[in-house]
Structure 1
Amino acid sequence: MDIETPPVLRDTPKAQGDRRGLVMVHTGNGKGKSTAAFGLAVRAHGRGKKVKIYQFMKVPSARFGEHRLFEQLGIPIEGLGDGFSWKSRDLAHSAELAQAGWSKAEAAIRAGEHFMVVLDEIMYPLRYGWITLETVLTCLRERPSSVTVVLTGRNAPAELIELADTVTEMTLIKHHFNAGVPAQRGIED
């Protein structure tokens, strides 16, 4: 590792625009997309901002680590699905749940009552055609200017990336699964 001298002067210009709601996308094959979105939600909540989290692939009764923490913090989180497609017993029902979930999320975004709305794992129902991309894009374009929307999931569509203000791609460099280490509570949940 090379040692660097710490900068003593700012190396980027200070932004001059107005503060406004953002569209943020966390995508890619690496780990950390949902975790990053949850970190933003906690940060906003810590500043007294109203936050709502929708999880498109988790069941409403899910009790993963994030659900337990958000319950303690008073951050509403809602599962909208019936698990990942390989766990579903009825994909038509999964599609119906995704569409009903999108209706809830869209209403929350358009109402403008939340500083931040997180749409966790929304890329799956988009890719499967359960929710139309144009409906999501239209909502994002028409949302109140004060609302930030964070969308997560692998393979974000190019149109969404183009619309977004901030896009982060999580890149897989190394993963413990490849060494045969299974998912662990507190890390993958």
Structure 2
Amino acid sequence: MTEDSPTTPEDLARHASKMAKKKAARDKIMATKSGEKGLIIVHTGPGKGKSSSGFGMILRCIAHGMPCAVVQFIKGAWDTGERRLIEGHFGDLCQFHAMGEGFTWETQDRTRDIAAAQAGWEKAKELIRNPEIRFVLLDEINIALRYDYLDIDEVLAFLAAEKPPLTHVCLTGRNAKEPLIEAADLVTEMTLVKHPFRSGIKGQPGVEF
């Protein structure tokens, strides 16, 4: 036990009373939260974990038996662990569409990049329109938006007008545009503190892909 840990009967009673008040306050707040809504979720920032968090929610959907889908806008050429897992074991619940051809410095062809992004967006719209699909992950779409391969106004207008009320859409990638952040219900910014790449360590299976 630390010095601050309750050790006497009086300390334990005070702690129990404090936690009971905290629980009552929390229960009161939770009683007001009865709404249900399909969320627009944005994972952005320079830190690692944006796609990882998105795929974590995909696995939650699978565990709940909720039909879901993934559209990858950049990493389509990669052999990733999440793609192997989903296609190999959960293809009945989760569609996986790898539409990208790699990062812009790999293709070195803007016209080709735009075509790939547009094809990915057309597939995304098809999936989002389907009310039976409850969660759609648009992995690295923020990169396509950042380079104007896709029109941010078109994307936002579609989400506002055509996304079914209970469908969640998660958009990942660094440098999310401000209009998307404003329109989103949930925004998380991953902050870079340390990364092994800066120490000469390449991406590791199970961590990066």
Whether TM exceeds 0.5 here: the answer is yes
Q: Following TM superposition, by how much is the alpha carbon of 1:180 offset from its aligned partner in structure 2, in angstroms?
A: 1.6
Query: 1:131 maps to what in 2?
Result: 150
Runs of 4+ in 1 over 3 A off after TM superposition: 2-7
**1:18 alignment partner in structure 2:** 35
**Partner Cα distance (1:3, 1:177) in 2:** 40
Letter of the 2:185 partner, please give it.
D
Larger radius of gyration: 2
Change (3 A) 1:3 1:55: farther
CA contact (8 A) 1:25 1:152 kept: yes
State the match for 2:8 in structure 1.
none
Cα RMSD, aligned residues only: 2.1
Deviation (angstroms), 1:113 = 2.4
> How does 1:83-162 map onto structure 2 within 5 Å?
83-142=102-161, 143-162=163-182
Identical aligned pairs, as a percentage? 41
Q: 1:3 to 1:87 in 2, by over 3 A?
A: farther
Partner AA of 1:103 in structure 2: E
Deviation at 1:89, TM superposition (A): 4.1
Q: Which amino acid counterpart does residue 37 of structure 1 have in structure 2?
A: G
1:153-188 CA-partner distances (Å, limit 9, x unpaired): 001111111111110000011111122211112211
Larger mean Cα displacement after TM superposition, 6-15 or 156-165: 6-15
1 CA distance for matches of 2:129 and 2:86? Answer: 23
**Residues in 2 aligned to 1:17 and 1:127: alpha-carbon distance in whole angstroms:** 36
Question: Structure 1 residue aligned with 2:47, among 30, 37, 40?
Answer: 30
The amino acid of 1:47's aligned partner reads H
Q: In structure 1, what is the Cα distance between the partners aligned to 2:112 and 2:69?
A: 24
Higher helix fraction: Structure 1 or Structure 2? Answer: 2
**1:44 to partner: Cα distance:** 1.0
Question: In structure 1, how many angstroms separate the alpha carbons of the residues matched to 2:4 and 2:178?
Answer: 38
How far apart, CA to CA, are the structure 2 residues paired with 1:137 and 1:77? Answer: 23
2:80 aligned residue (53, 57, 64): 64
> Structure 1 stretch 36-45 or stretch 73-82: which is displaced more?
73-82
**Matched positions, count:** 188
- Residue 169 of structure 1 corresponds to which residue in structure 2? 189
Runs of 5+ unmatched residues, structure 1? none
Please say if residues 114 and 147 of structure 1, whose CA atoms lie closer than 8 Å, have aligned partners that are also in contact.
yes
Q: TM-score, normalised by structure 2?
A: 0.83
Q: Distance in 2 between matches of 1:112 and 1:139?
A: 15
CA distance in 2: counterparts of 1:19 and 1:53, whole angstroms = 23
SS of match in other structure, 1:76: strand
